[in-house]
Every structure is written in structure tokens, then in C-alpha cells.
Chains A and B, each alone.
Chain A
Amino acid sequence: MAQITTRITATAGVAAVALTLASCSPSDTEGGGDDGPVTLETWISQDMETLFPGDAGSYDNISVLDVVYDGLVRYDPETTEPYNYVAESIEPDEENTVWTITIKPDLEFQNGEPVDAEAFARSWNYTADGDNGLYSNYFFGIIEGYDEMQPTTDDEGNITAEGATDELSGLEILDPLTLQVTLTSPFAGFATMLGYTGFFPVAQECLDDVEACATQPIGNGPFQVTEWQQSQELTAERWDGYTLDETPDYDAIHWTEYATGETSSWADFKAGDLDLSFPPTAEVESARNDPELAERYVERPGAALTYLGFSGYTDGPWNDIEFRKAISMAIDREGIISSLGSGQATPADSWVVPGGVPGGEAGTCEWCVFDPEAARDALERAGGWPEGEKLQISLGDDDAEVEYFTAIGNSVEEVLGIPYELNIDPDFFTTRAEQGYDGMFRNNWFPDYPLNENYLSFYASGEPGAGHWGWYSEEFEAKLDEAAAAPSLDESVALYQEAEAILAEEFPTIPFRWGFSSTYYSERLDNVILNPFSGAPILREIEVSVG
């Protein structure tokens, strides 16, 4: 009898659990109902660690901060030209050295603190302070007083003393809404930089507890972060106190974090749980052939350049420009790109993205065409390739890139008969920074702000043998200085184009491909525009229909 009772109780228990699971409804936080808040469902990668503006440097935190904070300028979604947003005006002096920034009145942070000159000065000082070790620190190198804020190091790279001061001497608060910035040298493009994440203002409450602010930002933008379960999901809700006009109609944004980024979100997109996504390589073709999906697709060339560099600091045939030309003309860019990575790239024939930023033009690279005949001639002029040696091609541990670089190696071997070996180095960045390669290696540049200067200035190594490629050109660096001092931005852009021409002439690196951004979106979205610069959907522009 006792056994029977136990069994009946157990059966009843199981039945009860099953019924509970089936009948009671889960608390749906995603606003699925018609009357609830309208939430945009999108994705970010799981490794986002911070939302502190001065420390944010990845695609993910930049796209989140773009709706949580407002910068002095924002960029036109079509042309990437900057226009004043939080700034009333940004005026340089005649030499482009002293800049006066006036801020719109009556703006507030989400905690009620004023967004004023002080808010910008405190943010910039904190990020520029080398002792804090923040990602965007290097942006402030152009403001006077930066050097005094950096720690001193000994020959082995150990810190021996902290920076002497905590404030940029080049920042002066003229009145609550006016900030004067003195640069170390003229720079006509300064205003263009000011929309970058690192230049956002921060509230005093944020600096009082930076750690808290890194996960619960106190922004001045249209959305407020309400909950972040780090590495799992992030929610931002519309901030009622927002007074500027660039804000969308929907009520909240919910980001699901994915371990392997966008493509792992595809199944959720297809299941109707996400509004934006792109398929993994294996499913690209079937997505493309789906007529219904094709209507909900946007694409645009991206601004990130993948290019090849050589170890100019070691002896080798690559120190001869003819050899570099030979390699460049031996690479079948079109063929490689159309057959790999679902064609999500564009062949590159310039160092600055054409159309994506002011001053970017296609075709500045004369030797970026596939021409096997000319390539073999150039190799002959360079004296050929040493018998029995292999060309080492180094890159980081990334499967998609390995495919591309295998194809590059094959293309070079086929045309020039140069055998190659791939050197897949998990610590690629370190080795490259320490000039540890011997041969050819991958490079990638994702620009920080839309100006052609940003694609060029990092080639200025300062002395022969320095930098990633051991390349130095006095003429090139003089041209950069001249461009920075130009009286207007337009003239400056033109001079930077001349600097690009010097690069094209001396040919230290070989442009390979431009990134390519594309996304599919759900039926309820409209006006999905990709940022020509970052490639991310501009969340502020998206319209979400209800019901």
C-alpha cells in the first residue's frame, strides 16, 4: 500500500510539474505584445568588456555608445561629413592650432548633471592621463600638455614614474559652455575627430566611480542602459529627458551577446527573435536566393582595409620596390574575393576608402591590378627570388583570414613561382609590433574617424627602420605636416591626397581588400541604413513598426 501511495504521489507530482511548465506563461521581457514597449532586438559580441567612452574601441561598444552618448559632432549617414550636434560651433584660429568649442545650452546627462565645457574637459583629461591606461589615450596626443601626463618608462618598458600632471594644459574652460583647445601642432581635421567615442563627455558621478560607470554608463544620448548582464545581454531604454532631435520612435534596444559574433545570431533571426543579422558562410547562398529575404537586405562597402606589409627591417628581396610591385600584380584580387568569404569584400586599389571618407578615391594604387605578365617582368627587374627559399606570409589565428591568405600565397606562387609558407601566429599583434617577422604579413586598418588623414598618419614612423614595416619617408612626413597646417579642411584633405600619392609612389604596403558590410532585417523594420564608416546599422535611423 505504501508503495502504491508513493507511486501515485510521484505520478501526481510529475503531472503537476508538466502542467505548470505547459500552462503558466513566461514573463516576456522582449515586448512581444502589441501594447507593450517596442523593442529593437539586435546582437553584439560577447567579449565587450566596458562602456566607458575613453576605453571603448571595438565595433560593439562603439555601436552601443552611439545611442547612449551624444558627441560634439555627428556624421552624415551618407557622406560621413561631420556636423555639429552637441556643439553649437567649433572654430579654429588662423593656424588651426587653437580651437574654440561652444556647447549648446541646457543639455543634461541622464543623472541631471549639466553637459558643459567641464564635462568634456574632465572626460578628456581622464582619458589622456597615461596612468589610467585607457584605450583611446592616444587620440589626445595632439592636445598640448599630453606628454606631461604620460608615465616614464625605462628601457625594458617598466614604469619608473607616473605622469607629472593629471590635466591637459591645452584645455581651457572660458565659460561654462565654451572650451578652448590648444593643439601641439596645427591640425585642420580636429573637428572631424570630435564625434569619436573617446571624445564623448562624462558626468562627474561617472568619474567618481569609473568601474561602475563602465557597466552602467551615465550618458547624454537618447537611450539609457537599464540592465547589463555582462556577456549575456544588454538593455537600453529610451531616456525621457532627451532634448535633442536625433532619436528614433521605438522604446528600447535589447542586445543579445553572442560568443562568435553576428553569424551565430542567424538561427535566432530566422526564428523571429532578432531584428538584424547576417548568415554564416554556409547559409549565405540560401539566404541570397530567398526572394522574401532579399527585400530585407542592405549592403555597403566598408571602410576597413586589409593590406600586405613587408619586414623592411630585415634583409630580403622585398626591400626592392620592383619585388613589391611584382607581388601586388600577381595577386588576383577579384578572383580571390569573389570565391571566398561569400564575396563579402571589395578589391582594394587605394589606401584610403573611396567614397567613404573625404579625400578617398579609387585607383590611387597603380600596381593593384592583376597582371601576371607585368608581375613577372617586375620580379625579373628585382633580381628574382632566391632559389630554394620560401616566402613567409604571417598572420593571426583567424580561419577566414587564413583562407584569404592561402589564396594570396597560391596566386603569387602560380604567377611568380615563389613558394610560400603560412605562418599562423596566435600572438600576431605582439610579434608584428616587435618587428618579429621576416617576409610578408597581414595588416588591417579600421579608421577611427572619417578623414583620409586617419588612413595615412600611422605610416609616419619618425625614423628609418621604425614602425611595423621599417618604412620611412621624409617627404611623406613633411607632406602630412603641411596638410595638417592647411588653412581649411578642404585644402587639408587635398594635401593628404598628395601624401597618399607619395605612398603610392614608394609602395611600402599593398592594398588587398576593403571590408563589406551587409545585414538582413526583420519584417517590422524600416529605414535600415548602414554607417558608411563602421558598417553598423545606424540604430537611431531605424523605424520599428508595431503590431
Chain B
Amino acid sequence: MGRYIARRVLQAVGTLLLVMLLLHLLTTVAIQLNGNPAQAFFGDKVASPTQLAAVEQRFNLDDPCFDQVGNPCLGPFVERLGQYARGDFGTNLRGREVSDIVAAAAPNTLRLFCVVLITWLALGMVLGSVAARRRGSTGDHGIRLTSVLIDAFPVFVLLIVYRYVVAVPLHRWAEETFGEDSWPPYWFKPSFDADHPWATVVVPGILLGLAGSAAFIRLVRAGQLEAYQGDHVRAARSKGLAERHVVVHHVVRNSSVPVVTAVGLTFAEALGGAVITEGLMNIYGMGGVLWEAVRNDDVGLVLGIVTLLAAVTVVVMIVVDIAYAVLDPRIRYD
């Protein structure tokens, strides 16, 4: 197990470096083709060449390679890697520390993901299990139809309708019913509130989770249906084990492996959903920050954040692999 993890970590570091280099090259080409982001600092003002040069220097864009199309700008890249190795993630285009930005944005995204994950698992396990257990019943058909509907309903529509149509009256109602100094008004606040991050992230998280839950419902249903017909379940039943025991230990547990895989895979996809959710609900999170950074050719910020995200994704993948071994005794990494 130890050797397996070490090998995976080494692979991960290699992947990470490759991702960083690729991103560096892409953003560098963007700067070379589009012109220097320092100009955007002045907007409609006509900046003199001296002012531009001073701003370039201030924001570390003064390396001449940024003006030469096709130059891979490896110098600044190596310099940046050195900084990262020393734990210094540099600054964004306006001199704000990337680590400060991440420290402010990441917890909000993590809160969102936490709610999303719970929603996925809760909905997936409950509805999927019910559908599998009562296969062919009205309930099963209803759940399958619901999962198709969920898939067909884009998350941003769900969020816009919630924010502009449902949240305002709910929030007002909660304020009148429970008082301004109670929790319910915060749950239904139309925007995120940095002072009450958990309370205001619950509903957006559930909605984003709901939108992604269809795949889980179907996965769990399929996994459990297979398990119900498995030899081991028949054996367990014929041993006289209680039905509850059979379901919990032999059906649910066995059907968890694909679910865990899907959590790992969907994690990266959820970041895309997070960009929309964060944008609409005004949550200051990683998705929104990355979106803006790419729009502004903010090389330092894009690289800093993607590096961190890639690192997290790799860690999640490793955790998923380890979870396999825990869930399925047949899987061993020796």
C-alpha cells in the first residue's frame, strides 16, 4: 500500500508539472498575442510608454519575452516554480497575494462542495436504493423519471428561478415568522453572506447537488440491482441472515464502489457548476476567481489556482483509490 501511494504521488507530481507548463505556455501566448495586460490597468486613459513600463514592472510583466510572440518565456516559469517550492505563490496582476485570495475563496468553495457531496450521496443512496429495492414499481418509475428531469434541467435555470422568484419571498417570510435574528432568514438569503458562510451556502449547495444527483441515483440503482442478483446475496439470504443485514452489508456496501468512483470523477466537473453557482449566488469562491483570472490574462493567479486545484484533484483521486480498497476487500495495492 505504502509503495503504491508513493508511486501515485510521484505520478501526480509529474502530471502537475506538465499541467503547469501547459497553462504557462497558454497564458503566455495569450499575453503575447493580445498585448500586455498592463494596458488594461489604464482602461480608457491614454498611458504614456513610461507609465506602461512602470506598471509592467510593478506587476512583474516586464520580462521582454512577453513581447516576443512564440517565445515560451521559460525564464519566468522556472522562477515561478522556484517561488512555489519556497511556498510563495506570488501575486495576482494587481499585487494581491495569491495565497490570500485562495485563503479567502477556497473555504467558500469547500463549503459548497461539502453540501453538494452530502446531497449527492443522500439523494443517490436513498432514491437509488428505493428504486432498486422496488424495481418495476411506480416508485421506481417515478424516481427514474425524476432523474431524467433533473438531467434535463440546467443548473443555472434552477438557480436563477430560485434566486429571483423563490428566495426573496421565502427570505421575507422567514424574517417575519422567525424574526430577523434567527437562522431561517439566512438560509434563504438570495446572496451569500461572508459573515454567515454556512447558513447561506446550504440552499445553493443543495441545488447544485440536486442538479448533479441524477447520475448518482442511476448508478446506485444499477449497482444494487446487480448486487441483489449476485451469488453472494443469495448465499447470505440462504444462510438465514436478516434482510436488513443482507441489504446493508452485501448490497449497499458492494454498490458503493462505482459511487465513490463517480464522486472522484464528478469532483472536477462540479468546479464548472461551481463557477455558475458562485457567480449567480455571489459566493466568492475558486470557480469565480479562476473565471475572472482567465478573462484578465492573470498568469500568476491562473497558475497559482490551477496548481492548487490540480493538487487537490490528484489527492482526491488517490483518496478514491484507497477508498476502493477499504470498500472492496478484493482490491489490494501491493
- Contact A271 to B182, CB < 8 A, known contacts A230-B100, A431-B35: no
Does any Cβ of B come within 8 Å of A132's Cβ?
yes
Complexed CA–CA distance, A159 and B64 (Å): 11
Question: Which of chain A's residues 142-159 have a Cβ closer than 8 Å to chain B?
Answer: 150-153, 156-159
Q: Mark B297-315, 1 if CB is under 8 A from A, else 0.
A: 1000000000000000000
Closest to B31 in A: A427
- Known contacts A26-B186, A256-B191, A268-B189; 16 additional CB pairs below 8 A are A22-B182, A25-B181, A28-B180, A32-B181, A130-B54, A137-B54, A157-B52, A229-B104, A229-B194, A271-B189, A272-B171, A273-B171, A426-B34, A429-B44, A430-B36, A443-B44
Contact residue among B59, B94, B167, B181 (Cβ-Cβ distance under 8 Å from A26): B181
B191 CB, min distance to chain A CBs, angstroms:
5
B168 cross-chain contacts in A, Cβ below 8 A: 267, 270-271
A27 cross-chain contacts in B, Cβ below 8 A: 195
B330 cross-chain contacts in A, Cβ below 8 A: none
A232 cross-chain contacts in B, Cβ below 8 A: 104, 194, 284
B62 cross-chain contacts in A, Cβ below 8 A: 158-159
Does any Cβ of B come within 8 Å of A453's Cβ?
no
Does any Cβ of A come within 8 Å of B204's Cβ?
no
Closest to A427 in B: B34
Residue of A152, A273, A458 contacting most chain B CB atoms (<10 Å): A273
20 contacts between A and B (CB under 8 A): A137-B54, A138-B47, A153-B49, A156-B67, A157-B53, A157-B56, A158-B53, A158-B64, A159-B53, A229-B104, A230-B96, A231-B101, A233-B195, A256-B193, A267-B191, A283-B164, A426-B34, A444-B44, A458-B46, A468-B46
Q: Mark A139-178, 1 if CB is under 8 A from B, else 0.
A: 0000000000011110011110000000000000000000
Does any Cβ of B come within 8 Å of A265's Cβ?
yes
Contact residue among B39, B167, B172, B183 (Cβ-Cβ distance under 8 Å from A22): B183
Complexed CA–CA distance, A212 and B115 (Å): 35
Complexed CA–CA distance, A467 and B45 (Å): 11
Contact residue among A257, A283, A458 (Cβ-Cβ distance under 8 Å from B284): A257
Does any Cβ of B come within 8 Å of A133's Cβ?
yes
Complexed CA–CA distance, A273 and B175 (Å): 11
A424 CB, min distance to chain B CBs, angstroms:
13
Complexed CA–CA distance, A131 and B57 (Å): 9
Closest to A141 in B: B48
A135 cross-chain contacts in B, Cβ below 8 A: 41-42
Whether A427 pairs with B35 at a CB distance below 8 angstroms is yes
Does any Cβ of B come within 8 Å of A285's Cβ?
no
Question: Which of chain B's residues 183-216 have a Cβ closer than 8 Å to chain A?
Answer: 183-184, 186, 189-191, 193-196, 199
A110 CB, min distance to chain B CBs, angstroms:
23
Complexed CA–CA distance, A446 and B288 (Å): 28
A468 cross-chain contacts in B, Cβ below 8 A: 46
A245 cross-chain contacts in B, Cβ below 8 A: none
Contact residue among B43, B59, B182 (Cβ-Cβ distance under 8 Å from A25): B182
Question: Which of chain A's residues 227-269 have a Cβ closer than 8 Å to chain B?
Answer: 229-233, 256-260, 264-265, 267-268
Closest to A232 in B: B194
- Contact A138 to B51, CB < 8 A, known contacts A427-B35, A458-B46: yes
Does any Cβ of A come within 8 Å of B229's Cβ?
no
Whether B67 pairs with A430 at a CB distance below 8 angstroms is no
Complexed CA–CA distance, A174 and B222 (Å): 86
Residue of B101, B182, B196 contacting most chain A CB atoms (<10 Å): B182
Closest to B188 in A: A271
B199 cross-chain contacts in A, Cβ below 8 A: 26
Whether A231 pairs with B104 at a CB distance below 8 angstroms is yes
9 smallest CB-CB distances across A and B, nearest first, come from: A430-B35, A267-B190, A133-B58, A427-B34, A133-B54, A232-B194, A49-B94, A430-B39, A25-B181
Closest to A467 in B: B46
- Contact A259 to B172, CB < 8 A, known contacts A232-B194, A443-B44: no
Complexed CA–CA distance, A135 and B44 (Å): 12
Residue of A26, A153, A158, A283 contacting most chain B CB atoms (<10 Å): A26
Residue of B50, B95, B186 contacting most chain A CB atoms (<10 Å): B50
Whether A260 pairs with B279 at a CB distance below 8 angstroms is yes
A233 cross-chain contacts in B, Cβ below 8 A: 194-195
Closest to A445 in B: B44
Does any Cβ of B come within 8 Å of A50's Cβ?
yes
Whether B35 pairs with A25 at a CB distance below 8 angstroms is no
- Contact A132 to B54, CB < 8 A, known contacts A267-B168, A429-B39: yes
Whether A433 pairs with B50 at a CB distance below 8 angstroms is no
Whether B34 pairs with A49 at a CB distance below 8 angstroms is no
Complexed CA–CA distance, A306 and B39 (Å): 19
B51 cross-chain contacts in A, Cβ below 8 A: 130, 133, 137-138, 150
Contact residue among B45, B104, B179, B195 (Cβ-Cβ distance under 8 Å from A29): B195
Interface residues of A (CB under 8 A from B): 21-22, 24-30, 32-33, 46-47, 49-50, 57, 130-133, 135, 137-138, 150-153, 156-159, 211, 229-233, 256-260, 264-265, 267-268, 270-273, 283, 426-427, 429-431, 433-434, 443-446, 458, 467-468
Contact residue among A138, A430, A431 (Cβ-Cβ distance under 8 Å from B48): A138
- Contact A268 to B191, CB < 8 A, known contacts A22-B183, A429-B44, A433-B39: yes
Does any Cβ of A come within 8 Å of B80's Cβ?
no
A389 CB, min distance to chain B CBs, angstroms:
25
Closest to B39 in A: A430
A43 CB, min distance to chain B CBs, angstroms:
10
Q: How big is chain B's contact interface, by range?
A: 35 or more
- Contact A156 to B64, CB < 8 A, known contacts A267-B163, A272-B175, A426-B34: yes
Closest to A260 in B: B279
Closest to A211 in B: B95
A284 CB, min distance to chain B CBs, angstroms:
13
Closest to A58 in B: B43
A131 cross-chain contacts in B, Cβ below 8 A: 54
- Contact A133 to B55, CB < 8 A, known contacts A26-B182, A229-B194, A283-B164: yes
Whether A430 pairs with B40 at a CB distance below 8 angstroms is yes
B295 cross-chain contacts in A, Cβ below 8 A: 426
Complexed CA–CA distance, A32 and B41 (Å): 39
Complexed CA–CA distance, A431 and B44 (Å): 12
B67 cross-chain contacts in A, Cβ below 8 A: 156-157
Whether A273 pairs with B189 at a CB distance below 8 angstroms is yes
Contact residue among B39, B183, B284 (Cβ-Cβ distance under 8 Å from A21): B183
Complexed CA–CA distance, A233 and B196 (Å): 12
B314 CB, min distance to chain A CBs, angstroms:
27
- Contact A46 to B47, CB < 8 A, known contacts A135-B41, A230-B100: no
A283 cross-chain contacts in B, Cβ below 8 A: 164
Complexed CA–CA distance, A189 and B134 (Å): 83
Whether A26 pairs with B196 at a CB distance below 8 angstroms is yes
Whether A26 pairs with B183 at a CB distance below 8 angstroms is yes
Complexed CA–CA distance, A46 and B282 (Å): 9
Does any Cβ of A come within 8 Å of B269's Cβ?
no
B195 cross-chain contacts in A, Cβ below 8 A: 27, 29-30, 233
Does any Cβ of A come within 8 Å of B88's Cβ?
no
A30 cross-chain contacts in B, Cβ below 8 A: 195
B36 cross-chain contacts in A, Cβ below 8 A: 430
Whether A151 pairs with B53 at a CB distance below 8 angstroms is yes
Does any Cβ of A come within 8 Å of B292's Cβ?
yes
Q: Mark B242-285, 1 if CB is under 8 A from A, else 0.
A: 00000000000000000000000000000000000011101010
A268 cross-chain contacts in B, Cβ below 8 A: 189-191
B180 cross-chain contacts in A, Cβ below 8 A: 28, 32-33
A445 cross-chain contacts in B, Cβ below 8 A: 44
B243 CB, min distance to chain A CBs, angstroms:
14
Complexed CA–CA distance, A256 and B194 (Å): 9
Closest to A436 in B: B35
Question: Which of chain B's residues 59-78 have a Cβ closer than 8 Å to chain A?
Answer: 59, 62, 64, 67
B172 cross-chain contacts in A, Cβ below 8 A: 271-272
B35 cross-chain contacts in A, Cβ below 8 A: 427, 430-431, 434
